[in-house]
Amino acid sequence: MQITLISSCVDRFDGVKEGLESKGVEVFSSHTPMTEKVACWGWRKGEEYLKKGHDVLVFERSYLGDRHHCTSIAWNGLNGHGDFKLGKVSDPKINVHLTPWHDGSYIVIMGQVSGDASLKGQNMTRQYEEWAKEAKRIYNMPVFFRPHPNTQRGNFKPDIPHIEGSLQDVLDDCHLVMCYNSNSSVDAVINGVPCITFDRGSMAYEVTGHEVRDRITPSRKEWLYKLTHCQWTPQEIANGDYVERMFCK
C-alpha cells in the first residue's frame, strides 16, 4: 500500500509518517500527489485531489471535546460526507455524557463561517432568514441567530435578533437548534436539544430532523458510539492506530 503524505499534513502532526510506515504503508512526502492514494489536511485540497482521480484520506478537526486536540480521519469527503470505515460499533471509544432531551423557551439558528468549505460556496444569509420566519410560524416562540465565534474570517449577517453568551449558556434553555451542517448540531444533540440539519455533512445528521417542522428526539446511543470512533488523539495518530481500519476494510 502506498500513499502520498502532502507536506501540510506532515507539518501538523508529529509522527504521522512514522505511524503509517509502522503499519506497512509506503509513504511519499511531497507537495503534490505521487500515488493513487493521498493524505492531506482539510477538504479544500482534498476535494481538488479527489476531482483529479485520487483516493483522499482527509485529516480534519474532531467533533467531541477539544476539537483542536483530536483529529477526524475519513476517506473522500468532509465530515458526514466522508467514509470513516466504521462497520459495526458496539462500544464507545471515549465516554461522553448524554443529557436527556428537554424543552426550552426559544429557537437558535447557528451561524457558520462565510467561505467555510462545508458550505460549498453558499451565501447562507437569506436561508437563515427563511428558516427563522418558518420556525417562528410553526413553533410560535422567539427565534435567535448565534453568529459563529470565529469572526476573523467574516460571518453572515441575517436580519434576525442575535443571542449572546457561550454555546453552553445558549443551549441550556434552547427548544430547538437549526443549522446547515455546523458541529454545533453535535453539541446540541449531546446536550439534549433537538436539532434540524439541512446537509448530510453534519455529523449529527442521523439523529436530527431535516425540515423545519421535524423536531425529533430519537435514541442517540448508537450514533454517539460511532461518533467516538471518528476521531483520534495525537498519540494514536503517531502510533498508526487508525491505519488497519482505514486501509483494510
Around Cβ 10, how many Cβ atoms within 10 Å?
17
237 CB-side CA count, 13 A: 22
Average pLDDT on 175-193 reads: 95
2-87+231-248 and 106-219 agree in CATH topology: yes
- Predicted pLDDT at 154: 53
**What backbone phi and psi angles, to 5 degrees, belong to 195?**
-140, 150
- Per CATH, the homologous superfamily of domain 106-219 is Glycogen Phosphorylase B; (3.40.50.2000)
Cα separation, 134 vs 132, whole angstroms: 6
**What backbone phi and psi angles, to 5 degrees, belong to 38?**
-135, 140
- Taking only the tens place, the pLDDT of each residue in 66-125 is 888 999 999 999 999 999 999 888 888 988 999 999 999 999 999 876 656 556 656 778
Q: In CATH, what number does 2-87+231-248 get?
A: 3.40.50
What residues does each domain of the chain span? Answer: 2-87+231-248, 106-219
